[in-house]
A and B are shown apart, each in its own frame.
Chain A
Amino acid sequence: MRKFSRLSRFNIVSLALGLAFLYLPILILVIYSFNASRLVTVWGGWSLRWYHEFFNDRAMIEAAWMSLRVAVSSATIATLLGTLAAVALSRGERFRGRTLFSGMLYAPLVMPEVITGLSLLLLFVALNAERGFWTVTIAHTTLTMCFVAVVVQSRLGSLDRSLEEAAMDLGCDPVRAFVAVTLPLIAPAIVAGWMLAFTLSLDDLVIASFTTGPGSATLPIRIYSEVRLGVKPEINAICTLVIVLIAVVIVIASLASKLSSSQGENAAPL
């Protein structure tokens, strides 16, 4: 009897409804970004007007540029630190303060952003640090390295350790065995971690609001202050551009992971 392992009509309906729920609002937003009408809800034909408007909005462009710079630098530092943390957690069985270490790495994943943002701001104020690009980058690195650590750690955990051991039996020292054998195998997870960190940073409003200074707003901060004042069609266009950018990053990263998975077997799906 295979009644329970097969897909039932109920399964198909709930899946279809679930995916529709997840995608329809985004789809509607993208379609309306090409709306010629000034009224957001009245369809006035196709137009690129709001994209044009965005590219002439200096403040928005500056905010977008700031966001991109922060996202690239924080994702890169976070990937380095997060990968090291993942290695330490899954390979260094016991070291002093391990519990505290893993606690600090998991807490930011679920901690309300308001608390993380507030605490970092108070630190920066106490240190008299000038707030702007670097403080936001540090804040985002702290948050996103935890996500990188989780992604890389789950890949390390599912890896066959005998490969590393074989390399060491053949005379590699541990560091070389890691670089030559393990690193290529976990490369897709590292790429996925970087992407995740990049998009999280690009997305973050709350922590950036706390840790940035006057004159260096990120794109979400700008969008947020516009949205609070009411719906503007220009925002639809900006949002669509952000969605396209993230889609491009995902495609590139999944191509990269395919490439490395054709070299090493059983790479993690993104």
Chain B
Amino acid sequence: MSGRRIFARPARFAAIAPYVWMVLFFLVPFAFVLKISLSQTAIAQPPYAPVFDPTAGWEALKTALAALSIDNFRLLISDDLYVFAYVRSLTVAVTATALLLLIGYPIAYGMARLPKRWQAVAMVLVIVPFWTSFLIRIYAWINILQHDGLLNQILLALHLVSQPVVWLSTDSAMYIGIVYSYLPFMILPLYATLAKMEPALEEAAGDLGAPPWQVFWLVTFPLSLPGVGAGVLLCFIPIVGEFVIPDLLAGSNSLMIGQTLWLEFFTNKDWPVASAAAIVLLVVLLVPLLLYERLQKRQLEQGR
């Protein structure tokens, strides 16, 4: 009898607890977001109306349902602030992901070329900063980039600039922060595909007379595309909703959608509009999210 078949049943039972947990604390909450995004702001506790009262009976529920409206979504489309925030989030995410790919690829490539023993060491070295707190790493950059920070001190000492350059509260600072924080997410999937690649393929192309750049562009890069895809999605999706990095490093003039949502929620206390903004953000991200899930599944099946 195949072990696989015997195992199917208890393994299914193993799914019960995590399944229930995820439905309860991941899926169901979205129903609440959707419901509140259709509600109106109210100066009350909780700050929205209508509130469903399951004890009030069917008629009360029907009136509550009738009170739902899509006004919040209309507001999002008509208000330039939100449209700009979505556009800016996508622009920042595209730019930052491109930078990450450009910077991460040579590093991952170098790792894959190391002798086997050193590859494991390099991998640990790349992962360790990821274990280190996210907030702390951003804070470290504030130390370096501020007006009298280390970077300006070095530039002044080397006479590269005559007076301190403004780094903090600029888009450059934000991109440095994003690239710095997400680099391991880009390097690891790239390294995983590059390390698995057969070196004989590159050698064959070289033997057949291709110059190194052609070997890279025609052989190495196409073969590493699954890693590129995983790395790009792994960075792109969370960057679109990024809140902490732009808040601490970028200037205050143009906000990303994550910041707008946060402000709407905590400062303006407009929960319905914040919920609607979250729904729109989710819809924008649904395509890359589904792509990511599909890629993840395929890689696990290959790894088996």
Q: Measuring CB to CB, which residues of chain A are less than 8 angstroms from any residue of chain B?
A: 1-8, 10-12, 14-15, 18-19, 21-23, 25-26, 28-29, 32, 39-41, 80-82, 84-85, 87-95, 97, 101-116, 118-120, 122-123, 125-126, 138-139, 141-142, 145, 149, 153-154, 157-158, 161-162, 164-165, 168, 174-175, 178, 195-196, 199, 202-203, 205-206, 209-210, 220, 223-224, 227-228, 231, 235-236, 239, 242-243, 246, 250, 269-270
Instruction: State whether A97 touches B242 (Cβ < 8 A).
Output: no
Asked if B82 is an interface residue, CB under 8 A from chain A, the answer is no
Note all chain B residues with C-beta closer than 8 A to A203: 133-135
Known: A84-B14, A158-B303. A122 touches B36 (CB 8 A): yes
Instruction: State whether B278 touches A114 (Cβ < 8 A).
Output: yes
Known: A5-B113, A153-B300. A164 touches B133 (CB 8 A): no
Asked if B26 is an interface residue, CB under 8 A from chain A, the answer is yes
**Closest chain A CB from B146 CB (angstroms):** 7
Partner of B293, one of A80, A90, A106: A106
Closest to A127 in B: B32
Known: A202-B133, A269-B120. A102 touches B114 (CB 8 A): no
Note all chain B residues with C-beta closer than 8 A to A153: 300
Known: A104-B26, A168-B6. A110 touches B234 (CB 8 A): yes
Among A41, A202, A224, A235, which residue has the most Cβ atoms of chain B within 10 A? A41
Within 8 A of A (CB), among B120-165: 120, 122-129, 131-137, 139-144, 146, 148-150, 153
Known: A7-B110, A206-B243. A174 touches B233 (CB 8 A): no
Task: Report the Cα distance A246→B136, complex, angstroms.
Answer: 12
Asked if B217 is an interface residue, CB under 8 A from chain A, the answer is no
Note all chain A residues with C-beta closer than 8 A to B143: 25, 28-29, 32, 40-41, 231, 236
**Closest chain A CB from B247 CB (angstroms):** 8
Task: Report the Cα distance A242→B28, complex, angstroms.
Answer: 34
Asked if B221 is an interface residue, CB under 8 A from chain A, the answer is no
**Closest chain A CB from B289 CB (angstroms):** 6
Note all chain B residues with C-beta closer than 8 A to A138: 25
Note all chain B residues with C-beta closer than 8 A to A81: 17-18, 21
Instruction: State whether A115 touches B282 (Cβ < 8 A).
Output: yes
Asked if B49 is an interface residue, CB under 8 A from chain A, the answer is no
Instruction: State whether B206 touches A174 (Cβ < 8 A).
Output: no
Closest 9 CB pairs of A and B: A112-B241, A92-B11, A88-B15, A165-B3, A119-B29, A14-B106, A18-B107, A91-B11, A5-B199
Task: Report the Cα distance A157→B292, complex, angstroms.
Answer: 19
Closest to B237 in A: A110
Task: Report the Cα distance A6→B203, complex, angstroms.
Answer: 11
Partner of B25, one of A11, A23, A120, A161: A120
Partner of A26, one of B2, B129, B240, B282: B129
Within 8 A of A (CB), among B247-288: 247-248, 258, 261-262, 265-266, 271, 274-275, 278, 281-282, 285
Instruction: State whether A113 touches B238 (Cβ < 8 A).
Output: yes
Task: Report the Cα distance A184→B111, complex, angstroms.
Answer: 30
Listed by A's residue number, 10 A-B pairs whose Cβ atoms lie within 8 Å are: A14-B109, A26-B140, A28-B150, A29-B143, A32-B143, A91-B7, A119-B29, A142-B22, A199-B131, A235-B139
Note all chain A residues with C-beta closer than 8 A to B33: 115, 118-119, 122
Known: A102-B297, A199-B131. A25 touches B106 (CB 8 A): no
Asked if B207 is an interface residue, CB under 8 A from chain A, the answer is yes
Instruction: State whether B136 touches A29 (Cβ < 8 A).
Output: yes
Instruction: State whether B133 touches A243 (Cβ < 8 A).
Output: yes
Instruction: State whether B303 touches A164 (Cβ < 8 A).
Output: no
Partner of B133, one of A92, A142, A242: A242
Give 1 or 0 for each of B1-31: 1 = CB within 8 Å of chain A CB: 0111011111110110111011101111110
Instruction: State whether A123 touches B32 (Cβ < 8 A).
Output: yes
Asked if B304 is an interface residue, CB under 8 A from chain A, the answer is yes
Note all chain B residues with C-beta closer than 8 A to A145: 18, 21-22
Known: A101-B22, A112-B237. A92 touches B289 (CB 8 A): no
Task: Report the Cα distance A269→B4, complex, angstroms.
Answer: 27
**Closest chain A CB from B267 CB (angstroms):** 13
Partner of B289, one of A5, A111, A125: A111
Known: A107-B289, A113-B243, A243-B132. A227 touches B18 (CB 8 A): no
Partner of B3, one of A3, A164, A210, A246: A164
Instruction: State whether B25 touches A6 (Cβ < 8 A).
Output: no
Note all chain B residues with C-beta closer than 8 A to A6: 113
Asked if B183 is an interface residue, CB under 8 A from chain A, the answer is yes
**Closest chain A CB from B16 CB (angstroms):** 8
Instruction: State whether B233 touches A114 (Cβ < 8 A).
Output: no
Task: Report the Cα distance A89→B304, complex, angstroms.
Answer: 12
Q: A112-B240, A161-B4, A224-B135 are in contact. List 12 more A-B contacts (CB 8 A).
A: A1-B207, A18-B106, A18-B107, A28-B150, A39-B148, A91-B11, A95-B8, A103-B293, A114-B262, A203-B134, A223-B136, A246-B132
Note all chain B residues with C-beta closer than 8 A to A94: 8
Task: Report the Cα distance A84→B13, complex, angstroms.
Answer: 9
**Closest chain B CB from A117 CB (angstroms):** 9
